[in-house]
A and B are shown apart, each in its own frame.
Chain A
């Protein structure tokens, strides 16, 4: 059940609240979105709420990166061992990596620029949108949440910040990726040894190829949770102001010019 049945009379809409999440178009910096696609293909699209292509590129990155050994080559390159980097790359996979990688960056950038224009037009149109949704499985509504809590939860485990603000799909991707990367990189095992002060043992336990995915997943999850909490709060305010103006501004209301009493 929704509080607004869309009759598709608007040319463009800024937001929609559905049981799977609050989706909105808002102004974004195209360079920042492109950067997240650079860090990990698909993340830029997930930030834009273009979930299907984002998820597709995200999975693609895991498959092709691991098979072509891109991450290992990155590690060797940063260590200055160029020969090892060249040797580790698998030419059976390597060439397909480049076009899709750059496509994801370019497409995220281009889409952001386009959607910023759409936002300006939709914002001027000020059409009503659905802001409350309840179904058998979920409830979603607009309200204010704390951006710092979103950061904190995403730092504990990527994806939790997204659950906090009801971005169910990104939470699914985030939590799924976290479980996979934690497991295959042996990260948690290494952290346990690390906390016990056994750094010499912690390093060889780690799988470098998988570990290199982790910073991007953490960084993205923190950024996505934070920025969307802030944007959801702004959307709540905007919607409430519209509601007040529409319902509580009777033209017959007269201000009483009396004296203040206690």
Chain B
């Protein structure tokens, strides 16, 4: 019997493999295939699961800092004071920078394909005796796999 499962690249995957080995599944009967997900359009918002090297906030934080310095300086002469003007300056700078980055992204993004749902990062295949099928499936689910199929 073989079980196919899909996983994220995270520590749960290694815990799943380790637990399987503890339950007498031989190392040679476990087959892992890391998938390449790089052909997708570049994602702007880096998350725990995804990042592609384009930093959404780099220009924003840089301009935010610059405008904040200017705001603080001018703010000493203004009724609202340096804290308000400095804060306002940093927000204006940040959003201008964010706007520039978003604009550049729209400009440079040639192919646009919409990918829905979560990206799977690893396929795991486990070869085991039929009696162990249930056990292996439970272990896979317990370690947050996305889906499992049992083949007989």
Contact = CB atoms under 8 A, between A and B. Distances in A.
B25 to A, nearest CB: 11
B92 interface: no
Interface stretch (A99-107, A120-128, A161-169, A210-218): A210-218
Contacts, number: 167
Contacts of A260: 149-151
A245 B80 contact: no
Interface in B113-133: 121-122, 125, 127
Q: Which of B58, B59, B72: most chain A Cβ within 10 A?
A: B72
Interface in A243-262: 243-245, 247-250, 252-262
B36 to A, nearest CB: 9
B138 to A, nearest CB: 14
A82 B64 CA distance: 25
B65 A226 contact: no
A35 B90 CA distance: 16
A191 B87 CA distance: 12
Interface in A174-198: 190-191, 194
Decide if the interface of chain A is mainly helix, strand, loop or mixed.
helix
B110 interface: no
Interface string B1-17: 11000000111011001
A247 B61 contact: no
A75 B51 contact: no
A215 B30 contact: no
Nearest to B75: A203
A207 to B, nearest CB: 11
A216 B65 contact: yes
Nearest to B149: A260
Contact of B46 (A79, A194, A230, A248): A230
Interface in B24-59: 27-34, 46-49, 51, 53, 55, 57-59
B102 interface: no
Nearest to B26: A250
Contacts of A50: none
B95 interface: no
B83 interface: yes
Given A248-B27, A250-B28, A78 B74 contact: yes
Contacts of B76: 75, 79, 203, 206, 208
Contact of B11 (A26, A143, A215, A218): A143
Nearest to A254: B127
15 contacts: A74-B73, A77-B73, A79-B76, A144-B48, A200-B81, A203-B81, A206-B76, A211-B72, A215-B64, A215-B86, A215-B90, A223-B57, A245-B32, A248-B31, A252-B28
